[in-house]
């Protein structure tokens, strides 16, 4: 059935940001705080999450991110970091990476060796979004428009997004921050390479019997995929298990208590007995590599997962997105006075600024996912030796750590 346009509304601004995730909201805040008029175009409202019982602890979100120093700096400069519920943020003091097989290698990094207070911080998606929503409420010049985008057009004078009710959002620049399946990217006919990892990330939260001391653990298990246990405040940990599709299906069929038993065996009891924090709360997410052939088009810039989707084994997708936002804001702030924010040259500079960082992360995460995804014994031996060797090369370790921290 064809719906007739019902609105003649027109929203004029300098920049229109499409998306409703942390990256879209951060972009909106960044542009607004730099003095630009912003339209944030979000999908028609989803039902709000059920309210928790008064006095009861808010459940722990199973979507958590290891946020690095680049992201921390950006969020602090936008006054978002200080608005997070700090009691629900866990600093990562060290990382321990374990190989597999008869002679598993291992590799450890710690904040002391990297001369920083923490390597990263584990932040829940809900905590991050609540802080961003609160900051957006007080941000000058942000117009949040809820609607379904149906058309995008760009020319020398500017760009427009048309909504399916007929309303029009006009701006000098459109930022696509609408995730891995980006509608904006699709409208710009940007081609992409897509490869499924044939894995799903199973995520859930547990309490642990022994203290985790701020350690982020990761196990490369070969045929069972990659398992990470990330520290949450108190004796709690968050699981990200990148499991081959068939195993992920089994894990999702099992109870969380059965999953906890598997984890206790895998972790050789380092954290003692694990107990599900919320018995029913487990999710699985498909994993793929998405590499768009461009991250800009006339009057359009892509940021976050719209611009790149990587394997979560290094915990870096969101961090890459924050680095995109910082680079876009810097490039636009440094433009010559006569250029508009949607100027082709300005956007080309943004694309160049992001090329190396994104490519390195794509190669590193994809390479590791393939290297540790095979069960061939010679490969297993070499990769375990590699982990041990790297552990004994402090200079190289420091460089890798600096890269991961975004420093
Ligand atoms: C299991 C797992 C663990 C991860 N762990 C980490 C980690 O530790 N650290 C890290 O840095 N990264 C991590 N990542 C990556 C991280 O989750 C993503 O990179 C990040 O969520 C991308 O954010 P985004 O805002 O770009 O996209 P999304 O979070 O996908 O948000 C896109 C938004 O756009 C909205 N949208 C979609 N279409 C439209 C439209 N047409 N109009 C308007 N809005 C639209 C959607 O509703 C959504 O709100 C992990 C990923 C996975 C799968």
Cβ of residue 305 lying under 6 Å from some atom of ligand 1 = yes
Other Cβ atoms closer than 10 A to 199 = 25
pLDDT tens per residue, range 174-186:
999 999 999 999 9
pLDDT value at position 393?
A: 64
- Rounded to the nearest angstrom, the gap between the alpha carbon of residue 90 and the centroid of all alpha carbons in its chain is 17
Q: What phi, psi does 340 have (nearest 5°)?
A: -80, 165
pLDDT value at position 1?
A: 43
Going from the Cα of 209 to the center of ligand 1, the distance in angstroms, rounded, reads 32
3 state SS for the chain: CCCCCCCCCEEECCEEEECCCHHHHHHHHHHHHCCCCEEEEECCCCCCCCCCCCCCCCCCCCCEEEECHHHHHHHHHCCCHHHCCHHHCEEECEEEEECCCCCCCEEEEECCCCCCCCCEEEEEHHHHHHHHHHHHHHCCCEEEEECCEEEEEEECCEEEEEECCCCEEEECEEEECCCCCCHHHHHCCCCEEEEEEEEEEEEEEEEECCCCCCEEEEEECHHHCEEEEEEECCCEEEEEEEEEHHHHHHHHHCCHHHHHHHHHHHCCCCCCCEEECCCCCEEEEEEEEEEECCCEECCEEECHHHCCECCHHHCCHHHHHHHHHHHHHHHHHCCCCCCCCCCHHHHHHHHHHHHHHHHHHHHHHHHHHHHCCCCCHHHHHHHHHHHHHHHCCHHHHHHHHHHHHCC
pLDDT of residue 298 exceeding 80, the answer is: yes
pLDDT value at position 395?
A: 65
Q: What is the mean pLDDT of the chain?
A: 88
Q: How confident is the model at residue 270 (pLDDT cuts 50, 70, 90)?
A: confident
Going from the Cα of 238 to the center of ligand 1, the distance in angstroms, rounded, reads 18
Provide mean pLDDT across the span 269-280.
86
Do the bridges between strand 15-18 and strand 173-176 make them parallel or antiparallel, or are there none, so unpaired? parallel
To the nearest 10°, the Cα dihedral for 240, 246, 251, 252? 90
CB 127 within 8 A of CB 84: yes
Cβ of residue 304 lying under 6 Å from some atom of ligand 1 = yes
Cβ of residue 71 lying under 6 Å from some atom of ligand 1 = no
Going from the Cα of 29 to the center of ligand 1, the distance in angstroms, rounded, reads 17
Going from the Cα of 376 to the center of ligand 1, the distance in angstroms, rounded, reads 34
Q: How many whole angstroms separate alpha carbon 280 and alpha carbon 295?
A: 39
CB 110 within 8 A of CB 119: yes
Cβ of residue 361 lying under 6 Å from some atom of ligand 1 = no
Going from the Cα of 351 to the center of ligand 1, the distance in angstroms, rounded, reads 20
pLDDT of residue 91 exceeding 70, the answer is: yes
CB 311 within 8 A of CB 243: no
Going from the Cα of 324 to the center of ligand 1, the distance in angstroms, rounded, reads 14
Q: How many whole angstroms separate alpha carbon 46 and alpha carbon 131?
A: 19
Cβ of residue 318 lying under 6 Å from some atom of ligand 1 = yes
Cβ of residue 312 lying under 6 Å from some atom of ligand 1 = yes
Q: Which residues pair with 375 in a beta bridge?
A: none
Atom of ligand 1 nearest to the CA of 180: 30
pLDDT of residue 2 exceeding 50, the answer is: no
From the number of C-beta atoms within 10 Å of its C-beta (0-12, 13-18, 19+), residue 16 rates as: buried
Provide mean pLDDT across the span 24-29.
98
Provide mean pLDDT across the span 187-207.
95
Cβ of residue 122 lying under 6 Å from some atom of ligand 1 = no
CA-nearest residue, atom 17 of ligand 1: 318
Atom of ligand 1 nearest to the CA of 66: 8
Cβ of residue 199 lying under 6 Å from some atom of ligand 1 = no
CA-nearest residue, atom 20 of ligand 1: 318
Task: List the one residue out of 314, 345, 349 whose CA is nearest residue 216.
Answer: 314
pLDDT value at position 101?
A: 64
The larger pLDDT score, comparing residue 378 to residue 195, is at: 195
Cβ of residue 149 lying under 6 Å from some atom of ligand 1 = yes
pLDDT of residue 111 exceeding 50, the answer is: yes
Atom of ligand 1 nearest to the CA of 177: 26
Do the bridges between strand 296-297 and strand 300-302 make them parallel or antiparallel, or are there none, so unpaired? antiparallel
Q: How many whole angstroms separate alpha carbon 352 and alpha carbon 334?
A: 14
Going from the Cα of 227 to the center of ligand 1, the distance in angstroms, rounded, reads 20
Cβ of residue 225 lying under 6 Å from some atom of ligand 1 = no
């Amino acid at each position: 059935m064809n719906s007739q346009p019902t609105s003649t509304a027109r929203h004029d601004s300098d920049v229109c940001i499409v998306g409703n995730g942390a990256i879209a909201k951060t972009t909106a805040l960044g542009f607004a705080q730099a003095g630009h008029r912003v339209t944030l175009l979000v999908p028609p409202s989803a039902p709000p999450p059920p309210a928790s019982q008064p006095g009861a602890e808010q459940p722990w979100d199973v979507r958590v991110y290891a946020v690095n120093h680049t992201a921390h700096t950006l969020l602090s400069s936008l006054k978002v970091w200080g608005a997070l519920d700090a009691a629900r943020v866990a600093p990562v003091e060290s990382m321990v990476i374990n190989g597999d097989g008869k002679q598993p290698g291992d590799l450890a990094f710690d904040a002391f060796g990297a001369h920083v207070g923490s390597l990263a911080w584990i932040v829940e998606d809900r905590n991050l979004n609540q802080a961003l929503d609160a900051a957006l409420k007080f941000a000058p010049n942000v117009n949040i428009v809820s609607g379904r985008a149906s058309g995008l057009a760009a020319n020398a004078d500017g760009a427009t997004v048309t909504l399916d009710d007929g309303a029009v959002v006009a701006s000098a620049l459109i930022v696509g921050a609408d995730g891995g399946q980006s509608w904006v990217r699709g409208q710009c006919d940007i081609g992409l390479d897509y490869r499924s990892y044939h894995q799903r990330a199973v995520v859930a939260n547990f309490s642990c019997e022994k203290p985790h001391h701020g350690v982020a653990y990761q196990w490369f298990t070969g045929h069972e995929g990659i398992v990470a246990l990330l520290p949450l405040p108190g004796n709690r940990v968050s699981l990200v298990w990148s499991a081959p599709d068939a195993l992920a299906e089994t894990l999702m069929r099992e109870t969380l208590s059965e999953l906890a038993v598997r984890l206790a065996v895998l972790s050789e009891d380092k954290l003692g007995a694990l107990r599900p924090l919320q018995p029913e709360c487990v999710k699985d997410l498909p994993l793929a590599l998405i590499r768009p052939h461009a991250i800009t088009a006339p009057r359009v810039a892509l940021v976050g997962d719209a611009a790149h989707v990587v394997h979560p084994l290094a915990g870096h997708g969101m961090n890459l997105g924050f680095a995109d936002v910082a680079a876009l804001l810097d490039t636009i702030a440094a433009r010559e006075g006569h250029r508009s924010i949607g100027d082709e040259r300005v956007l080309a500079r943004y694309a160049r600024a992001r090329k190396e960082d994104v490519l390195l992360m794509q190669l590193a995460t994809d390479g590791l996912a393939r290297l540790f995804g095979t069960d061939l014994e010679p490969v297993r031996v070499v990769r375990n030796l590699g982990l041990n060797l790297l552990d004994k090369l402090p200079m190289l370790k420091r460089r890798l750590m600096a890269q991961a921290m975004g420093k």
